[in-house]
Amino acid sequence: DAKTTQPPSMDCAEGRAANLPCNHSTISGNEYVYWYRQIHSQGPQYIIHGLKNNETNEMASLIITEDRKSSTLILPHATLRDTAVYYCIVRVATGGSYIPTFGRGTSLIVHP
């Protein structure tokens, strides 16, 4: 059963914008989309979350489509330190529980 779908890998030149897509076609109407990233051997780091409207913070911007079935995380000026695995997360109703479901993530490599 589909939860989130992300491309397994992407690369980006340093200083350019990195646009990471995520499909979450089974998202419920009142469930948020969260983005995290994980640098090797560390715990995931929260980036941003949103419900319906586009969101921006000091780390990134989140664009959510009107039908909420997909979203894009934008790192406006990627640096080498942004190299990490990026996870898009929704909570999926499963047997009465709402399970925060990580996809396989996108391995983003930022190159000089």
Partner 1 sequence: KAGVTQTPRYLIKTRGQQVTLSCSPISGHRSVSWYQQTPGQGLQFLFEYFSETQRNKGNFPGRFSGRQFSNSRSEMNVSTLELGDSALYLCASSLAATARGYGYTFGSGTRLTVV
Which residues contact partner 1 by CB under 8 A?
Answer: 30-32, 34, 36, 41-46, 49, 51, 87, 91, 94, 97-105
Report how far residue 64's alpha carbon sits from residue 39's, in angstroms, rounded to the nearest whole number. Answer: 25
* C-beta of 43 vs 112, nearer to partner 1: 43
* C-beta of 40 vs 112, nearer to partner 1: 40
Minimum gap (Å) between residue 78 Cβ and partner 1: 21
Minimum gap (Å) between residue 12 Cβ and partner 1: 22
DSSP 20-46: EEEE-TT--TTPPEEEEEE-TTS--EE
Minimum gap (Å) between residue 112 Cβ and partner 1: 28
* C-beta of 47 vs 110, nearer to partner 1: 47
How far from chain centre, in Å, is Cα 35? 4
> Tokens 């941003």 label which residue?
48
Backbone phi, psi, residue 81, to 5°: -70, -10
Report how far residue 48's alpha carbon sits from residue 58's, in angstroms, rounded to the nearest whole number. Answer: 9
* C-beta of 46 vs 77, nearer to partner 1: 46
